[in-house]
Structure formats: C-alpha cells, structure tokens
Amino acid sequence: MIDLIQNTIDGVMIGSSYGLLALGFTLIFGVMRRLDLAYGPSIMIGAYFGTILYLHYGAGPFAVAIAVVIGAAIAGIYVERLCFAPMKAGAAIASMVSSFAIWMQLEQAALLVLPRHTYPFPPLSTGAPLAFGPFLVRIDHLIMLVSTLGLTAVVHLTLHRTRFGLALRAIIGNPVAAHLVGIDVRRAVLVAFAGASSVGGAAGFLVLAVDQQVTPMFGMWATMKGLIAMMIGGLGSVPGAVVGGVLLGIVEAHSQWYFGPQIRDLVAYFLLFAFLVVRPRGLLGCPPDSVLPQKA
Amino acid sequence: MLDISDLVTAYGKIDALKGVSLQVETGKITCLLGPNGAGKTTLMMTIAGLLHPRRGSIRLAGTELVGLSPARIVAHGIALVPENRLVFPQMSVRENLLAGAYQRNDKVGIDADLERMYARFPRLKERNEQLAGTLSGGEQQMLAVARALMSRPRVLLMDEPSLGLAPLIVAEIFNIVHELNRDGTTIFLVEQNAHMALQVAHRFLLMEQGRITFKGMPGQLAEAEVIQRAYLGTRRAVG
C-alpha cells in the first residue's frame, strides 16, 4: 500500500513535467492545427545552450534555466519561420514533413557543437528528500510540480484574460475570421510559437535537472512524451494537457515498479493506443464537430 | 466611398474577377447579385485583403487598399461579414464582440458600442456568456453582423447574410440591414436572394462570370429578368 501511494506520488511529480511539455505542444497544435515534430528538438537546442553555459562558464541553475528557455524560444521561432510561415493553408503534411527534416538538422547541429553522447546538466537541488510520514518527496520533483501548476495558470490567464489571448483563441477558433476582425495572424502565430517553445524549454530544464545529463536524443524523447500526454489529455485543451501528462506519469511510475523500465514505455504506448481507439478526443478534448463553424 | 477599378483576381491560371469596376456610395445600400461562381465572394475576399488581386485598385475614400494586410484594411474602415458567418465557436458572444473591436484601443468607446449592440440585438444580450457555437444560425448571423460593426467600419461588407436561414429569419436580417443603413452605415451587400435584396437596395449590380454586366436602380430592370440573370446567368437565359 505504501509502495502504491509512493509510486503515485512519484508519478504525479514526473507526470507534471510531461504535462508542461504537452502544454507547449497543445498551444502550437491549437494555433496551427499542424503537428510540429521539431518541438522536442527545439527544447533540446535550448538545453544545449544551457549546458554550454554550465560547462564553460559554471553558470548556476537559475542562469541555465533562463538560457534553456531563451534557447528553446529562438529555436521555436526558427522552426516556425522555416516549416510553418511559408506553407499555405491546407499544406499540413508539408509542415509536418519539413518539421521532421528540421528535427534531424537540429540533432546534427547539437552533435557538431558537443560531439559526445552525453553531457552533464546542473542539478536543481541535491538536498535530501522531504519526508511526509512514510512517504518521500524529492525537492526537485516538488519544484517541478509547483512550476507546472504556476506556468499552467499563467498560460490559462494569458489565454482568457488578455488581448493577446483573445487573439490566439480567435485564431484557434477560425483563422479566416481572425484576419477579418483585424488580428495580425502571422505575428500572433510567431509569438505563440516562441511562447509555446519557452514553456517547453521550462519543462525541458526541469526534466534535465532531475536527470542531470543531456543527450541529443532528448529532443525525440520530449516530442514523444509531449505528444502522448497531449493525445491522452485531449487535443487543444490546456487543462487536458496537464491532466494527460500527470496520468501518463502515474501509469509509467506504476509499470516501472511492477514490470521494470523496458516494459514501462510499452505500457505508455499501449495507453496511447487504447485512448486512440476508445476515446480519440482524449480526456478533456472537445467533440470534433463543436470546433468547426456551425452550419445553420 | 469605395471605388474599385479594373480588379483582376485569379486562382492559379483562372481569372475569377476579370476586370471589375464599381463604386459604393456613401450612406447607400449597394447590392451585388449574380449566380453561383460569378466571383461575388472572391470580390469580397479581395476587398478584405484575404486574396491578392493580380491588378486593379480598391480605394476607400481615396486611400489605396490593395497590398495592405487584412488587419490594416480593417483599421482603415472595412469590415466583412463573411459567408457562413464564421463566428468564433468556442468563445462567448461577448468575447466575439470584443474580438470585433480588436483594432481599437478606446476602452470607453468599445464598452459603449457593446451596449449599443446589446440594445440593437437583444438576443445577443440574453446569450452574452453563451458559446457562439451553440447559437442558432440566425443568432450567429446577428453576432457576425454585430462583430463586424464593433470595428466601427466606414463600409460594411456582407456576403450572403441570408444563406441557409429560414424565411422569417431572412426577413429579420434584411430588416436589420435596412435599419443599419437608415442610421448611416454604408453597406455593400452580396446576395442570392434577389427578391429581398431589391427591396432594400438603393443601387444594384449584376455580376456574371467575373464581370459586372449591369449597374442600375431597382425597378430599372424587371424583377423577373434580374432574378433570372442573378440565378442562372445571361447565357442560359438567352438560350
């Protein structure tokens, strides 16, 4: 019983970082209605910025965090300019394939700059875990959870309480109508991409600070985790992204405990498969027809 | 007010507009009739800046609009009520209206205009917090009109506002068009419903196969002929 609860606690903590990854993914998907496979690799580029600062200048965790977020935002803007801005409406496949090409390119770029397979990443906290009765909570896990809740609240309030958020939701609702009411759609999309990649960068920093190492493969890892959590939570839903991430984290923690790390990923993919078959819109996604303009 | 000359817009190699020239006069309702595929919606999208013309000019009170972004065109005073309304389905009625005022910064003026819209469209006030996607077709049309008015346009473009609506609702929409114009709004209306359109229009134009083929006043052409040409085009009417 204690194991069960401890595993669930760990799952929620790790899952919150998946939720944060999915949050950035959700913003990009919502605004573009296209899959950005280079989302994870953009975060990995940010992580390499941070690692370089750490290795060469001995930067502390805070400075590294800022560098990761800024680096990811710059990489996100690069991806948007190359894979999304030039593509005409309806060319969703072209965007997806070109984002795959950029993924490969970013991975190679990372290998050119830092050729070894792994590099150290600064830890967030090396203190002993906090004890709550029989249960232990790592301090960096706690920071992860709190950051996720905080950033989710920031994203939610931005979307629902600001002028820019109104513009983004209008674009998500109907891009043509967004043009017609005078929203500068191209600019808003670019800013949204930078913002979403920054959120992803924050998630990437938190994960890597727990792992204390970074590899070029982190990009693929981040894309996969973010994608699965987003699909489970519901395409286009901000709360759904976080809920999906937490659920994925809990399932992974338990399957790792009972079946070991190899089976863990298998279970995660099975969970995705089960959702796609049984409930393709995810936990909190809208029914597909309510998103489209209604006929009279 | 709106002065369009020799406008050519193409999809690939096919010219949808083949040199369109027309004027929309201040304070009047100008109505454009024509069969499906004549290029009416293409014309509206070109004026709004969503399609780029190959040549020609669109002047609003002397300012050239060709080449400006859709957002700049809204700022200059053009608002389009698009075909099929295109409300933002996952946003509330109120948020849809606020989005319509996106180009404006005068909070006091925006609030006053919100109240004016609620006064003119009481149904929208009742459904203020409801998601626009849950409104009926007629309510969505009113919302689309109110949203366009929130930008305080100098010319209101309307693309087939009666499309897919029940006859009673259509009458209500045309009543609104009439009232808006009586209060001073310049309106450029595209319609399939020739009968209703001729009742409100001060001037009307016929468009067939990308060209303007008739300009005049209602009554200048027998309604039967207008309807025939508006629905079928001249060729089949002659044949």
Between residues B205 and A126, which one has the greater pLDDT?
B205
- Per-residue model confidence (pLDDT) at position B54: 94
The DSSP result for A184-216, as a single string, is -HHHHHHHHHHHHHHHHHHHHHHHHHHHTEE-T
Using the predicted structure, report yes or no on whether residue A224 has a pLDDT greater than 50: yes
Tell me how many domains chain B contains.
1
Strand partners, B78: B155
- Report d(CA B54, CA A182) in Å as an integer: 23
B231 touches chain A (CB under 8 A): no
Cβ distance A294 to B137 less than 8 Å, yes or no, reads yes
> What CATH number is associated with residue B35?
3.40.50.300
| Region B38-48 average pLDDT | 94
- Given a contact cutoff of 8 angstroms between Cβ atoms, the answer to whether B177 and B2 are in contact is no
Per-residue three-class SS string for B107-154: HHHHHHHHHHHHHHCHHHHHCCCCEHHHCCHHHHHHHHHHHHHCCCCC
Q: What angle do CA B127, B128, B132 make, to 5 degrees?
A: 70
Q: If you average pLDDT over residues A79-108, what whole number do you get?
A: 89
DSSP output for chain B: -EEEEEEEEEETTEEEEEEEEEEE-TT-EEEEE--TTSSHHHHHHHHTTSS--SEEEEEETTEE-TTS-HHHHHHHTEEEE-TT----TTSBHHHHHHHHTTT---HHHHHHHHHHHHHH-HHHHHTTTSBGGGS-HHHHHHHHHHHHHTT--SEEEEE-TTTT--HHHHHHHHHHHHHHHHTT-EEEEEES-HHHHHHH-SEEEEEETTEEEEEE-TTSS-HHHHHHHHHH-HHHHH-
What's the pLDDT band for A236 if we cut at 50, 70, 90?
confident
Is the confidence at residue A26, as pLDDT, over 90? yes
pLDDT at residue B133 above 90?
yes
CA dist., res. A257 & res. A64, Å (int): 32
Domain range summary for chain A, segments of one domain joined by +:
16-228
Cα gap A283→A286, rounded to integer Å: 9
ipTM: 0.91
Least confident span in A62-71, A186-195, B212-221: B212-221
Burial A95-130 (b: 16+ CB within 10 A, else e): bbebbbebbeebbebbeeebeeeebebbebeeeeee
Q: So what's the pLDDT on residue A51?
A: 94
The percentage of chain B sitting over the pLDDT mark of 90, rounded to a whole number, equals 74
Say how far apart CA A170 and CA A152 lie, in whole Å.
Answer: 20
What is the spatial distance between Cα B113 and Cα B119, in angstroms, rounded to a whole number?
Answer: 10
CB B151 within 8 A of CB B113: no
CA distance A9 to A14: 9
Confidence of residue A222 (pLDDT cuts 50, 70, 90): very high
Q: Tell me, what's the pLDDT at B216?
A: 85
Q: Is residue B113 part of a domain?
A: no
Nearest-neighbour CA in chain A from B57: distance (Å): 20
On chain B, the residues whose CB falls within 8 A of the CB of A189 are: none
CB-CB under 8 Å, B147 with A181 = yes
How far is Cα B148 from Cα B143, in angstroms, rounded to an integer? 8
Rounded mean pLDDT, B7-26: 92
Report for A128-142, A180-194, A277-291: range of highest mean pLDDT? A180-194
Q: Report the pLDDT value the prediction gives residue A287, as an integer from 0 to 100.
A: 61
Cα separation of the two ends of chain A: 55
- Whether residue B78 lies within 8 A of chain A, CB to CB, comes out as no
In this prediction, residue B232 carries a pLDDT of 65
Residues of B in contact with A176 (CB under 8 A): 50, 82, 86
CB-closest option in A172, A176, A182 to B86: A176
Q: 3-state SS of A24-93?
A: HHHHHHHHHCCCCCCHHHHHHHHHHHHHHHHHHHCCCHHHHHHHHHHHHHHHHHHHHHHHHCCCCCCCHH
What's the confidence (pLDDT) of residue A151? 95
Confidence of residue A296 (pLDDT cuts 50, 70, 90): very low
Domain housing B206: 2-85+155-238
> In whole angstroms, what is the distance from residue B116 CA to residue B131 CA?
20
Interface of chain A toward chain B, CB-CB under 8 angstroms = 163, 166-167, 169-170, 172-174, 176-185, 286, 290-296
* C-alpha to C-alpha distances, A259 to A194, A247, A274, nearest whole angstrom: 39, 18, 19
3-state SS, residue A12: helix
Q: Report whether pLDDT(A241) > 60.
A: yes
Neighbours of A270 (CB within 10 A): 13
**Interchain contact, B90 vs A286, CB within 8 Å:** yes
Residue range A126-169, pLDDT digits in tens: 888 898 888 999 999 999 999 999 999 999 999 999 999 999 99
CA A245 from chain center: how many Å?
9
Contact A169 B137 (CB under 8 A): no
Q: Judge whether B103 is closer than 8 Å to chain A, CB to CB.
A: yes
> How high does pLDDT run on average in chain B?
91
Which residues are within 8 A (CB) of B60 and not within 5 positions of it... i.e. 6 or more apart?
B1, B2, B3, B76, B77, B78, B154, B155
- State whether residue B69 sits within 8 Å of chain A by CB: yes
Helix (H, G, I), strand (E, B) or coil at A131: strand
Cβ of residue B229 closer than 8 Å to a chain A Cβ: no
- A39-65, pLDDT tens digit by residue? 999 999 999 999 999 999 988 899 999
Residue B135 lies in a domain: no
What SS3 class is residue A279? Answer: coil
pLDDT for position B234: 61
Interface touch A182/B86, C-beta < 8 Å: no
pLDDT category of residue B229 using cuts at 50, 70 and 90: confident
CB contact (8 A) between residue B70 and residue A179: yes
Tell me which residue in B70, B75, B98 faces A180 most closely, judged by beta carbons: B70
The secondary structure element, H or E, covering residue A286 is none
Mutate to test the interface with B, among A171, A181, A237, A295 (most CBs of B within 10 A): A181
Asked if residue B142 is part of any domain, the answer here is no
Which of A136-140, A150-154, A282-286, B157-161 bottoms out in mean pLDDT, i.e. has the lowest? A282-286
Q: Which helix (H) or strand (E) holds A119?
A: strand A119-120
At B163-202, the pLDDT tens digits run 889 989 999 899 999 999 999 999 999 998 888 888 899 9
Is the pLDDT score of A288 beyond 60?
A: no
Q: Is the pLDDT of residue A275 over 60?
A: yes
What's the DSSP call for residue A123?
A: -
Nearest CA-CA partner of B191 in B218, B162, B169: B162
Residue in chain B closest to A182 (alpha carbons) equals: B71
Q: B80 CB near a chain A CB, below 8 Å?
A: yes
Please tell me the distance from the alpha carbon of residue B144 to that of residue B91, in angstroms, as a whole number: 13
Angle between helices A218-233 and A39-57 (to 10 degrees): 140
Confidence band for B140, pLDDT divided at 50, 70 and 90: very high
- Cβ-Cβ contacts under 8 Å, A163 against chain B: 102
- Whether B108 maps to a domain, the answer reads no
Å between A296 CA and nearest CA of chain B? 4
